[in-house]
Amino acid sequence: MSKKTLLLATTILCTATLGAAANDRYMSRPPVVVSPDLTAPWVMQLTGEGVQPAVSARRIVVRQREQQRRVLRQRSGVAVQQVSAVVHAEKPVKTQIDPVFLPQVVDYGTEYKAGTIVIDTNNRFLYLVMGDGKARRYGVGVGKPGFEWAGTHKITRKAEWPSWTPPQEMVAREAAKGHYLPAFMEGGPENPLGSRAMYLGSTLYRIHGTNAPWTIGYAVSSGCIRMRNEDVVDLYERVGVGTKVIVI
C-alpha cells in the first residue's frame, strides 16, 4: 500500500470516529433556543422582499402590557391598592370614575340661598344648594397648578354642544409642548367642552362637560370647571342664566 493511499484511509477513519463520538455525545440533541427578547435588533430587522417580521412592534407592546397587568393581579390586595393610590395621586388614569364623585344629595349647611352653585376646588366638588341643609353634589375637574382661581360670578350664557375656540395664549402654550390645537372645533362628542357649557361672567371660564370623564376629581384644566357629560346636562336643566356661582 502506498503512502498516499495509507494517508487517505487514516483520514477517513479519523473523520468517522470523530463523527461517531459527536453523535454519542449528543444522543439527545439540545433544543434550539430562540431569545425571548422579541425586540432584539435581529428580530426587528427581519424585513425585505418576501420577508415579514416574526412579531410586530404593536403586538410586543400589547404583550408587555398584558404581562404587567398579570403581575399586578398576582400581588396582594394591599400592594395593588398602594399602586393604585400612587397612580391616582400623580395623574388621571383612563378608568371608571371614583364613586365619591358621582351625583348625590348630601347634607350641606350653608348661608347661600337655594339655587346657588358653590364649587369647592380643593375637594373637587360642585354643590347646587337645595335649601333645608341639603345640596346636590357633583364631582368636577378643576384648574391645574398655576391655573387655580376663586371668585363670585353669575351664569351669563348657556349652550348645548358648544363649539370651542382655544384662546391664543393656550394655543401658544400647548404648541411650546408640541401639542397643536385647532383654531376652531365644532360642538360634538370629541369636543373638550362636552355636551353643555355655562359661561361665567365675562371671563373665559365655564362650567362644561368633557370628552375625558376619567379626569373628574383631578386638577387638570386651564381654569374651567369640567363635569361628566351626563352630570353637566343634569345641572344645566336645573339652573338658568343669572344663577350665582361661587368658586372657593
Q: For residue 181, which amino acid is it?
A: L
Q: Based on the number of CB atoms within 10 Å of its own CB, is 103 exposed (0-12), middle (13-18) or buried (19 or more)?
A: middle
All 3 cell numbers of residue 208?
362644561
**Is 14 annotated as catalytic?**
no
What distance lies between CA 245 and its chain's CA centroid?
30
Query: CA-CA distance, 198 to 232, in Å (whole number)?
Result: 9
List Cβ neighbours of 120 (8 Å cut-off, separation of 6 or more): 126, 127, 248
Query: CA-CA distance, 203 to 144, in Å (whole number)?
Result: 17
Q: How many residues does the chain have?
A: 248
Q: Give the residue numbers annotated as catalytic, written as ranges.
A: 208, 224
